[in-house]
Amino acid sequence: MTGTGGISIQGVRKTYVGRGREVLALDRIDLEIQPGDFVAFVGPSGCGKSTLMSMIAGILPVTEGRILHHGRPVTGINREAGYMTQRDAVLPWRTVAQNVELPLLLHNVPRAERRDRVASMLDQVGLSAFGQAYPVELSGGMRKRVALAQLLAYGPDTLLMDEPFGALDAQLKLLMQEQLLRIWTERRQTVVFVTHDLAEAVTLARRVVVFTGRPGRIKAIEAIELPPERDVFRVRFLPEFEAAYTRLWDALAPEIRQGEAAEGRAA
């Protein structure tokens, strides 16, 4: 069943063709994501996580199978899902406020409402004083917050986030996670979140999907049994956290080791 914001991935396969070579990136992916779920994707580098996100976002076609969002097949750019790509899309020639405004422009939101929503988003991510600044004047963490504000600005009910906090230092990462969980608790969007950080996956997600090395397939799905009101700073000291982390690591580690061995052979 998929209702509002639900995502249904059915028998998806993705082959890249280029320069006389075919790369099978993903194979036989079946996954149901319920409305309001928070799902994390983890898997070795190159297993197709970003590829799958781009297919849900409708900016990349599937080779086989289909993806439904809101119960409808995704056939072109999926404007009902906000997508924070692995390389953020903050534009250097627009101010912070103009960057946050951009998705509202694309959704034809009237001017006065755009102004109000931008102000409220900047406030939520703690950047009210930087609306007129340019991205070059920001720290890495502030830039990520601009991208987060941009993602949330038009209120999509589905958020696709590809390693959004990957480059941040450990403390800032916790603050961003806290902010995201607060927003999610309030609005209950459907979230798909890619990360290399298992602790981050366990801290944030209700379910964690482990992918095999390329071609990516789903190896395991772990339900995270932690209290719904979690404190991102303290949750890691709970026994349930350790148990989930260990099970995920046991599923993921062989995939990473296999990838390294294959690269060793290729070298």
Ligand X SMILES: Nc1ncnc2c1ncn2[C@@H]1O[C@H](COP(=O)(O)OP(=O)(O)OP(=O)(O)O)[C@@H](O)[C@H]1O
Name which of 36 and 195 has its Cβ closer to Mg ion.
195
Q: Which of 46, 65, 131, 141 binds ligand X (CB under 6 A)?
A: 46
Q: Tell me the closest approach of the beta carbon of residue 135 to ligand X, in angstroms.
A: 22
Binding flag, residue 189, Mg ion (CB under 5 A):
no
Q: Tell me the closest approach of the beta carbon of residue 166 to Mg ion, in angstroms.
A: 9
Name which of 190 and 212 has its Cβ closer to ligand X.
212
Q: Tell me the closest approach of the beta carbon of residue 43 to ligand X, in angstroms.
A: 6
Q: Which stretch binds ligand X (CB under 6 A): 44-52, 66-74, 148-156, 258-266?
A: 44-52
Q: Which of 18, 20, 76, 110 binds ligand X (CB under 6 A)?
A: 18
Which residues neighbour 36 within 8 Å (Cβ) at sequence distance 6 or greater?
5, 188, 189, 190
For the four alpha carbons of 173, 179, 185 and 189, in that order, the dihedral sign comes to negative
- Partner that binds at residue 215, options Mg ion, ligand X, none, CB closer than 5 to 8 Å by kind: none
What part of residues 85-124 is at the interface with Mg ion (CB under 5 A)? 86
Q: Tell me the closest approach of the beta carbon of residue 144 to ligand X, in angstroms.
A: 16
| DSSP string for residues in the chain | ---TT-EEEEEEEEEEEETTEEEEEEEEEEEEE-TT-EEEEE--TTSSHHHHHHHHTTSS--SEEEEEETTEE--S--TTEEEE-SS----TTS-HHHHHHHHHHHTT--HHHHHHHHHHHHHHTT-GGGTT--GGGS-HHHHHHHHHHHHHTT--SEEEEESTTTTS-HHHHHHHHHHHHHHHHHH--EEEEE-S-HHHHHHH-SEEEEEPSSSB-EEEEEE----SS--TTTGGGSHHHHHHHHHHHHHHHHHHHHHHHHHHHH-
Binding flag, residue 49, ligand X (CB under 6 A):
yes
Name which of 45 and 75 has its Cβ closer to ligand X.
45
Q: Which stretch binds Mg ion (CB under 5 A): 8-16, 44-52, 68-76, 208-216?
A: 44-52
Q: Which of 27, 37, 38, 50 binds ligand X (CB under 6 A)?
A: 50
Dihedral-angle region of residue 238 (phi above 0 means left; psi in -120 to 50 means alpha; beta otherwise): beta
Q: Which of 50, 54, 190, 203 binds Mg ion (CB under 5 A)?
A: 50
Name which of 4 and 45 has its Cβ closer to ligand X.
45
- Token duo for residue 256: 């990473």
Q: Tell me the closest approach of the beta carbon of residue 166 to ligand X, in angstroms.
A: 9
Contact positions vs Mg ion (CB under 5 A): 50, 86
Contact positions vs ligand X (CB under 6 A): 16, 18, 23, 25, 43, 45-51, 86, 214
